[in-house]
Chains A and B, each alone.
Chain A
Amino acid sequence: MARPPSDLPAAGLLDAARGPLHPAAVQTLEAAVAAGWADPTRLNAPGRRARALLDQARKVLAIGLGVRPAELSVHQSPEAALETGLTGLRHARRRVGARVVAGATERSVLLLQPGAESPVPVDTRGRVDTGAYAAALAGGDVAAAVLQTANAEVATRQPVSVVDQPCREHGIPLLLDATASAGRDPRAIPAGAGAVVVADAASFAGPPLGLLAVRTGTRWGLPGPRREAEQGREHAAPWVPLVLAAAEAWRQAEAVADAEAREARELVDRVRRAAASVRDVEVVGDPDDRLPHVVTFSVLYADGEVLLEELARRGLSVASGSACTSSALRPSHVLAAMGVLTHGNVRVTLPLAAVSPSRADDVDRLCRELPDAVAAVRRRLGTDDL
């Protein structure tokens, strides 16, 4: 059942970290619900059919990430894939060491793992200090290293090749977190980089599945009895229709990747310029060496939650890393590590053009409305005279 365009959930959507599915992935999902519903570990006819479909989808996703199909497993969430990927490295190397070297802006799920207690600092733009990172690698007792290809909140790319090199020299496996960039940033994963690569199918308008690749030859293993599904990394096989939808989303995103990234970069530049021209607003993250489709800025003397409501009133959905915005007591650890304002924070994650046909109009509307929205919030908080 096709929905009329006016009913699309994407109008005004500028927070697509988990956006609606690509329309082609929706069609695939609907067809796959009929054809691929069975448990692919079953040996009966429906099970074999589901297995064949899962194999096809795995192949598409593996090639997309630059890994072999046998190296790739599918998990219920990107967080689960990250946690499993790191746990397998730590367990396999537990006699070598217990430390996990990670940058201060890595995903919380990784920083909260044992061994990652003292992360490597980042600069004001959120880029990890490569000297301090190399020193931490050389410090001994290291089980694994973790690096994001780019940050999901502030878009800054990390120097993956610069960090990958000393990891190889020390024989330390690197977990590359591409959950913010896969399918959106054509340069996200340098060929062969990382011993473990993790992606999120939602970043390219698929379902929010975790994709975990462990490259052949990596010492990797989970504690406890052997798991039966997904290369021994999961207790149960994924629901095949979701994986098929993820593979279709990948195909669609990859087919237009370069043009899409160019267009998104230009739209984000518009937001950066518009935000920077408002008094006491700071655009954070690297202006050039960044994800094409993500931008964050912070508004001094404003409350993130009130700002989100003000923009929502004008039909625009954005996100925020401010503590006051969510039930979280702490502000974004990413913004805090960069030493930038955590309050009044607004984050835009552009959907793919195919997901949101009104994307460019929405960006222009945000640029037009922003000065007035900020002024309105400051008036309400009584800070417009500051």
Chain B
Amino acid sequence: MNGGPPVVDARGTRCPVPVIRLARAARDLPAGATLVLLADDVAAWSDVPAWARMKGHTVSLHEDEDWTEYRVVLGAPRTDRGQADSST
């Protein structure tokens, strides 16, 4: 953990578990903090970016051979609700 961002290893779990573990790890971190998720569930590929959009975080994906690494930079805390917006 020296210097690196916290890593949530959700490989081997299926939706909605990866997003839940990620959200739990993100809950106590300040805005601007970086968090890494490792997941091999295909649903996470759409769900992690969707979660980040709803919550105001930014996420970048790096494909590994058997899993995907999601690097999340936390935005200011907010609760999003309602309609998906095509402008985001």
Contact = CB atoms under 8 A, between A and B. Distances in A.
7 contacts: A272-B83, A280-B54, A282-B50, A284-B83, A323-B14, A329-B42, A331-B47
Interface in B42-59: 42-43, 45-47, 49-51, 53-54
Nearest 8 CB-CB pairings of A with B:
A343-B16, A276-B82, A336-B46, A124-B86, A343-B15, A341-B50, A331-B43, A123-B86
A278 B82 CA distance: 8
Interface of B: 14-16, 19-20, 23-24, 27, 42-43, 45-47, 49-51, 53-54, 79-86, 88
Contacts, number: 102
A43 B32 CA distance: 79
A338 interface: yes
Given A124-B86, A331-B43, A331-B46, A282 B54 contact: yes
Contacts of B88: 124
Range, interface on chain A: 35 or more
- Among A280, A281, A329, the most chain B Cβ lie within 10 Å of the Cβ of A280
Interface in A272-298: 272, 276-285, 287, 298
B23 A340 contact: no
A173 interface: no
B84 A323 contact: no
A252 to B, nearest CB: 34
Contact of A300 (B19, B43, B45, B86): B19
Contacts of B80: 280, 282
Contacts of B49: 339
A343 B42 CA distance: 11
A340 B50 contact: yes
Given A322-B15, A323-B14, A283 B54 contact: no
A174 interface: no
A322 B79 CA distance: 23
Given A300-B51, A303-B15, A386-B27, 7 more contacts: A340-B84, A342-B15, A343-B15, A343-B19, A381-B16, A381-B20, A383-B23
Nearest to A378: B20
